[in-house]
Amino acid sequence: MWANSLLSLLPLAVFAFARDRDHKVKEQLVAPPRGWTLHGPAPLDHLVKLRIALPQSNFPALEDHLYQISDPSHERYGQHLSNEQIEELVAPCPESVDAVNEWLASHGIEGDDVGRSPAGDWLTIKIPVSLAEEMLDTKYHVWKHIGGEYLVRTTSYSLPKTVFDHVELIQPTTIFGTFRKLKSTIHSISKTPTEDTSQNAAPVASATGVTVDASCNSTITITCLKQLYNAVDFTPSADNTIAVTGYLEQFANRADLQTFFEDQVPAAAAVHSTYTLISVNGGTDPQNGSLAGVEANLDTQFAFGLTFPAASTFYSTAGSPPFIPDIGTPTDSNEPYTEWLDFVLSQKTPSVISTSYGDDEQTVPLNFAQRVCQGFAQLGAKGVSLTFSSGDGGVGDGDPDPATQECITNDGTNSTRFIPGFPASCPFVTAVGGTVFIPEIAVPFSGGGFSNYFSRPSYQDAAVEGFLKGLPKGTYAGLFNPNGRGIPDVATQSDFFKVFIEGEAFSVGGTSASSPTFAGFVALLNDARFKKGLPALGFLNPLLYSRAVGGFNDITVGNNPGCGTEGFNATKGWDAVTGLGTPNFAKLLDLVS
């Protein structure tokens, strides 16, 4: 214990020991991330799964293609790229492949010891800490988080000069998130009331001009969403696809899905509709009721309930239990987004995929966030629409309680800043914020703000600049990056969702509900396009901010407090609480088909 206490007091510089003359520092943290303390040396036989990113040879060209095929005013709109075309654009140059192969071989790593992504731009090796320290001229330690989790990480690593320019990054090295790398954005959960006192109340008017059952002010169902967003008269077909992702041992339950269908989608219940499981990296599909995940059940029930009879997929991506320093088992693993991306980029993919997980942007190293974001761009180029929850901390960090948010940067300056979420901050995904009640107002926990990593994309310029000009001069000066990518893009209802877990009905809230809801309506739009022989919508944002901007209900009431502030206000036009607003499906249908 004394040794551990002493280690925690030593300055970070102690670990920046003398480097091999042939090595150059590739990445180094200014200070240990806030909330982490040194626990002790990493066991030398502990296995780490290193992912090595080689520079993508021509990503700017892929980005150009993506924007052309996603811009409804461009002649190439909808002409999505094939897997082969995408892989050719992002494949590393032969010089990089050769240099890195030679480096690995010099350490006895070659052939089947190296896993390779479809384009060859990511390499994966599983080696003991002792070898990783030798290869990276570094020292791994066990770090403990204030929340009790442990990680095996280093604060600095180096590469031989011969491969320095041929490797973009290596992880896990300096990535310090909460150990649950993708924390669900579920905000609240409670058992539903045994009696709904609003059932006999008069219907309420929505922004779409249609009436909505009064009960929808306290309980959100499939019927509520279709009424609220003007899709009651649309009949979906089976010629459509949608998927949701599951991480961190979050498992969907088929019996609960059937109970949900019996309650809300009788036609699906009548044919015992269910999802197709796709296992990624060993992900499983246990059907023990006690293993049912709130997140996974919420996502599958509402995404698949909205789109029945579309073909539905649940991606189960294996996670890992926390590393326990007293047990020498190799349990440490990577950020699972990359495992999932490697898999889906090589497959035939559903046209819409929803993800309800995320983390504070600052806990993900910039270069790693950029590479993951580029992977999402590749999916967009294939014609896949990706929706992500915007988060449940308002303008603050992952803590949904504004009163306990610290909002302190982890760059060594300990400055107070708004904390955007990632991957919602990636400009190649559609970030979905939250609303509540009818008429709709912004839900206070709706994640929103501006990225500190990604600059504002051109498709947002007019909308976001209008919002910024409307802010009183000096509002939150220094607390956010006005030139960053704005979050969210759109919003939907995000509270009081009636979800079935182990056969019982619960009320669930969070932007975890918003992402699968919006994804469901995107899938319905694709359905209409497919019936006319049109391609899937693919990467949505250039369309949403241009031709489709008139297809949203503007939300002008509410705010998203955090970091000791009231956050941003919902206002006319785009805002950093609800984005462009909530969908009016009937209008969007006319605009996109």
pLDDT tens figures, 452-468: 999 999 999 999 999 99
DSSP-derived secondary structure letter, 207: T
- Burial category of 307 from C-beta neighbours within 10 Å (exposed 0-12, middle 13-18, buried 19 and up): buried
- Of 256, 295, 339, 489, which one is the catalytic site residue? 295
Say how far apart CA 400 and CA 393 lie, in whole Å: 4
Record the tokens describing residue 52, joined without a space: 């090595």
pLDDT tens for each residue of 356-393: 988 889 888 899 999 999 999 999 999 999 999 999 99
- Of 87, 213, 249, 299, which one is the catalytic site residue? 299
What is the value of pTM for the model shown?
0.92
- Of 512, 514, 515, 527, which one is the catalytic site residue? 512
Domain 184-321+338-592: assigned CATH number: 3.40.50.200
With CA atoms as reference, report the closest residue to 277 among 312, 238, 310.
312
For the question of residue 512 being annotated catalytic, the response is: yes
The one-letter amino acid at 141: H
With CA atoms as reference, report the closest residue to 167 among 372, 426, 371.
371
The reported pLDDT for the residue numbered 87 is: 96
Q: Is the distance from CB of 53 to CB of 163 less than 8 angstroms?
A: no
DSSP-derived secondary structure letter, 191: E
Q: Is the distance from CB of 48 to CB of 174 less than 8 angstroms?
A: no
The reported pLDDT for the residue numbered 180 is: 44
Say how far apart CA 325 and CA 106 lie, in whole Å: 30
The reported pLDDT for the residue numbered 192 is: 67
Where in the sequence of the chain do the CATH 3.40.50.200 domains occur? 184-321+338-592
Annotated binding site: which residue ranges?
554-555, 573, 575
The reported pLDDT for the residue numbered 384 is: 98
DSSP-derived secondary structure letter, 33: P
Helix-strand-coil percent breakdown of the chain, rounded to 5? 30, 25, 45
Sequence-distant (6+) residues with CB within 8 A of 195 are none
**Tokens 């036009």 found at:** 573
Sequence-distant (6+) residues with CB within 8 A of 264 are 221, 222, 223, 305, 498
User: In which element (H, E) is residue 504 found?
Assistant: strand 504-510
Annotated binding site for Ca(2+): which residue ranges?
554-555, 573, 575
Residues of the chain with pLDDT under 70: 1-21, 177-186, 192-202, 205, 207-208, 319-336, 398-401, 403-404
The reported pLDDT for the residue numbered 11 is: 41
Record the tokens describing residue 323, joined without a space: 């590393």
For the question of residue 406 being annotated catalytic, the response is: no
End-to-end CA distance of the chain: 66
The reported pLDDT for the residue numbered 474 is: 92
The reported pLDDT for the residue numbered 198 is: 45
